[in-house]
């Protein structure tokens, strides 16, 4: 029996509970905006959905995430007006 390794298609963004609530309140809009940001710089990846976790939010993508993809997504999340960027930790693959 073999076990599957992580797909590398999920990014966890550790953040405070207040930030999680704010991001999830407009998750559909954030998915669209992240996808537009990725498309603007000609990346072939897109965000499928955002969900929450005990440690923050998880962004699931259609393809394996690269460093440039993660940088774009991190920049978007940290620049949201209603999110305290000081309480957003570095992104990591799940």
pLDDT tens track for 46-80: 999 999 988 899 999 999 988 888 999 999 999 99
Calculate ∠ Cα 10-38-82, nearest 5°. Answer: 75
Q: Tell me, what's the pLDDT at 26?
A: 94
Boundaries of domain holding 53:
10-93
Question: Would you place residue 42 in the very low, low, confident or very high pLDDT band (cuts 50, 70, 90)?
Answer: confident
The residue whose two tokens read 């959905």 is 49
- 38-45 mean pLDDT: 88
The answer to whether residue 2 is domain-embedded is no
Q: Is the pLDDT of residue 1 over 80?
A: no
**Would 1 be classed as within a structural domain?**
no
| 83 lies in some domain | yes
Average pLDDT, integer, range 82-91: 91
Let me know: does 79 contact 85? Beta carbons within 8 Å: yes
């Amino acid at each position: 029996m073999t076990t599957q390794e992580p797909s590398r298609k999920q990014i966890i963004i550790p953040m405070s509970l207040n930030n999680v609530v704010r991001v999830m309140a407009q998750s559909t809009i954030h998915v669209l905006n992240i996808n537009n940001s990725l498309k603007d710089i000609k990346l072939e990846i897109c965000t499928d959905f955002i969900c929450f976790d005990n440690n923050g939010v998880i962004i699931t993508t259609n393809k394996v995430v690269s460093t440039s993809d993660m940088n774009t997504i991190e920049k978007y999340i940290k620049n949201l007006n209603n999110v305290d960027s000081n309480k957003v930790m570095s992104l990591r693959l799940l």
